[in-house]
């Protein structure tokens, strides 16, 4: 199904598909057997965004070998010099932000403001990690013996496989690539098959910043074939994965048993708590943004809103009214509030959960339909959906839907609200709206989540702090941040003792 007219990298005109190749050992190359697949615009199903190389196992073998060879010299490049390359990559992203943001929107559907924000997050991460090239700090401590010093240093791990999802096609790869590189590792990167063009452009910009051949490699293809083979490849020293809990838990178990590093960022069933003293206007805004931003296709989406019984009715009325005002449409239209779901599979999954919610006895108060009228009929558009009178034991209140579906649950008091929030298998992000310092302190202490927001939605993590969850939301190292996050994951700690006394000293005995 390859179109007659295909443009090479840098083109992004609608109607002219990009040609996306693999990037191995510093060269853009087709798949070994010439195989390809397509990415489409989910707002216009008949528009092919890119024709993409479908990697073979031999392609992956070559990419891993290129990364292993490059590691020999890249690990020895002084970290400040590695940082200079990352600074140039950041500047390249700044120059091309507008075009890249539009490509993100065309390929995965999020509205243009979010597409630009996706790229901005990559810019932020590039600058931050570039600066870390002059830190990468260890410790220097006094020895208990004379004529001896003691310190710890951070050293690279080796070759990393980085496997990323489609919902943040520029930001999430940047979260992984930049800390891996600044730490002295080399990379084989496999993006989602649904957002290969945006990922490819990120790789191009980093490579053009002066990265040595083989330090960063790109292989494209389906997760079940390409991703699985790459993650378990014997030439890989560590894996950073973002995706479903089922896949992440499986990978983590297998890789850990082989003594390899693994970080798995997975799903979420995140809650916003709205207390009786909350600013309801602000809470409604937070619930709208958390529930329907990125069409609910975020691991941090606020798919549950837990509301104190005293304000439940008023909050629900205002929440429904606000949801009904949202405009669906092509994300490139600045008037659009909510874009499409990414593909037919996501559409069917959301429809399935609507049926489950109704069958469980939840009250469908707005939305619930695939949009089939006018221009919306050409894409995977789904109405912002709210279920009321949801109980914590319902499947729609416990399972990740990954779409524009929010369950509203009534709580008796702060303790009940926190118990409901904690009563799921996930623990990524949570929020509370309250003007009580006591309520907020209790929530901060007792909510089981990697991220807690106070008077803000469940969305909005910043790159200078670690990102990640607990329970079935996260395993292994964290994303973003410094030594407590990504840099800690992408390095080993090496302790060095130097004895310059000129005699044998026996610690703890001398």
- pLDDT per residue over 441-472, tens digit each? 999 999 999 999 999 999 999 999 999 999 99
CATH of the domain at 232: 3.40.605.10
- pLDDT per residue over 47-60, tens digit each? 999 999 999 999 99
- pLDDT per residue over 89-126, tens digit each? 999 999 999 999 999 999 999 999 999 999 999 999 99
- Return the percentage of the chain with pLDDT > 70, whole number: 97
**Shared-domain flag, residues 242 and 282:** no
Q: List the catalytic residue out of 201, 265, 383, 479.
A: 265
Query: Could you give the count of Cα atoms lying within 13 Å of 103 in the half-sphere of its Cβ?
Result: 28
φ/ψ region of 144 (left if φ > 0, alpha if ψ in -120 to 50, else beta) reads alpha
Number of H helices, E strands in the chain: 14, 23
**Shared-domain flag, residues 252 and 303:** no
Q: Is 304 helix (H, G, I), strand (E, B) or coil?
A: strand
**Shared-domain flag, residues 321 and 284:** yes
**Shared-domain flag, residues 368 and 443:** yes
Query: How many Å apart are CA 303 and CA 421, to the nearest integer?
Result: 11
Query: How many Å apart are CA 476 and CA 479, to the nearest integer?
Result: 10
On whether residue 507 sits in a domain, the answer given is no
On whether residue 145 sits in a domain, the answer given is no
On whether residue 462 sits in a domain, the answer given is no
On whether residue 218 sits in a domain, the answer given is yes
**Shared-domain flag, residues 442 and 477:** no
| pLDDT tops 90 at residue 229 | yes
**Shared-domain flag, residues 83 and 120:** yes
Q: Using 50, 70 and 90 to split pLDDT, how confident is the model at 507? A: confident
Q: Is 190 in contact with 220 (CB distance < 8 Å)?
A: yes
**Shared-domain flag, residues 125 and 84:** yes
Query: How many Å apart are CA 202 and CA 181, to the nearest integer?
Result: 14
Domain that holds residue 428: 271-454
pTM, rounded to two decimals = 0.95
**Shared-domain flag, residues 259 and 276:** no
Query: How many Å apart are CA 365 and CA 472, to the nearest integer?
Result: 30
Q: Using 50, 70 and 90 to split pLDDT, how confident is the model at 8? A: very low
Q: Using 50, 70 and 90 to split pLDDT, how confident is the model at 44? A: very high
Q: List the catalytic residue out of 107, 114, 299, 383.
A: 299
**Shared-domain flag, residues 320 and 424:** yes
On whether residue 146 sits in a domain, the answer given is no
Structurally, the chain folds into a number of domains equal to 2
- pLDDT per residue over 253-296, tens digit each? 999 999 999 999 999 999 999 999 999 999 999 999 999 999 99
| pLDDT tops 70 at residue 400 | yes
Quote the tokens at residue 6: 């295909």
CATH of the domain at 348: 3.40.309.10
**Shared-domain flag, residues 286 and 221:** no
**Shared-domain flag, residues 107 and 247:** yes
Query: How many Å apart are CA 47 and CA 107, to the nearest integer?
Result: 10
On whether residue 65 sits in a domain, the answer given is yes
Annotated catalytic residue 265: yes
> What per-residue confidence (pLDDT) applies to 10?
46
On whether residue 211 sits in a domain, the answer given is yes
- pLDDT per residue over 122-144, tens digit each? 999 999 999 999 999 999 999 99
On whether residue 3 sits in a domain, the answer given is no
**Shared-domain flag, residues 370 and 258:** no
């Amino acid at each position: 199904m390859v179109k007659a007219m295909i443009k090479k990298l840098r083109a992004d005109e609608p109607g002219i598909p990009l040609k996306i190749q693999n990037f191995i050992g510093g060269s853009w190359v087709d798949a070994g057997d010439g195989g390809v697949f397509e990415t489409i615009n989910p707002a216009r199903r008949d528009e092919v965004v890119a024709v993409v190389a479908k990697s073979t196992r031999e392609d992956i073998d070559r990419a891993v070998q290129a990364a292993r060879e490059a590691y020999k010299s890249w690990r020895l490049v002084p970290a400040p010099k590695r940082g200079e390359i990352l600074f140039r990559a950041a500047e390249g992203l700044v120059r091309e932000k507008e075009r890249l943001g539009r490509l993100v929107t065309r390929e995965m559907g999020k509205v243009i403001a979010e597409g630009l924000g996706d790229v901005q997050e990559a810019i932020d991460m590039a600058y931050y990690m570039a600066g870390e090239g002059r830190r990468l700090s260890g410790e220097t401590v006094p020895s208990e013996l004379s004529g001896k010093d003691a310190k710890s240093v951070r050293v690279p791990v080796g070759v990393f496989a980085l496997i990323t999802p489609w919902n943040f096609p520029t930001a999430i790869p940047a979260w992984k690539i930049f800390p891996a590189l600044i730490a002295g590792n080399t990379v084989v990167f496999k993006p989602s098959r649904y957002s290969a063009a945006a990922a490819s452009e990120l790789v191009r910009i980093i490579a053009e910043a002066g990265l040595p051949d083989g330090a960063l490699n790109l292989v494209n293809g389906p997760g079940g074939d390409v991703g699985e083979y790459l993650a378990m490849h014997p030439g890989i020293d560590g894996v950073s994965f973002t995706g479903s809990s089922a896949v992440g838990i499986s990978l983590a178990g297998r890789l850990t048993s082989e003594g390899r590093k693994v970080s798995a960022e997975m799903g979420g069933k995140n809650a916003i708590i709205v207390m009786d003293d909350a600013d309801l206007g602000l809470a409604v805004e937070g619930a709208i943004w958390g529930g329907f931003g990125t069409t609910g296709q975020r691991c941090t989406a606020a798919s549950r809103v837990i509301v104190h019984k005293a304000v439940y009715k008023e909050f629900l009325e205002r929440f429904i009214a606000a949801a009904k005002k949202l405009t669906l449409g092509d994300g490139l239209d600045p008037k659009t509030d909510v874009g499409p779901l990414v593909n037919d599979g996501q559409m069917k999954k959301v429809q399935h959960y609507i049926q489950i919610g109704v069958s469980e006895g939840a009250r469908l108060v707005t939305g619930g339909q695939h949009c089939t009228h006018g221009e919306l009929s050409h894409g995977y558009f789904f109405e912002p959906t709210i279920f009321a009178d949801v109980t914590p034991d319902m499947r729609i209140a416990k399972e990740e839907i990954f779409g524009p579906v929010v369950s509203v649950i009534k709580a008796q008091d702060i303790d009940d609200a926190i118990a409901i929030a904690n009563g799921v298998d996930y623990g990524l992000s949570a929020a509370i709206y309250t003007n009580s310092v006591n309520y907020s302190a209790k929530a901060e202490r007792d909510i089981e989540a990697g991220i807690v927001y106070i008077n803000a939605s469940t969305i909005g993590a910043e790159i200078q702090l670690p990102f990640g969850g607990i329970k079935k939301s996260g395993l292994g190292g964290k994303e973003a941040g410094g030594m407590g996050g990504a840099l800690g994951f992408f390095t080993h700690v090496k302790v060095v003792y130097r004895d310059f006394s000129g005699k044998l000293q026996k610690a703890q005995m001398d």
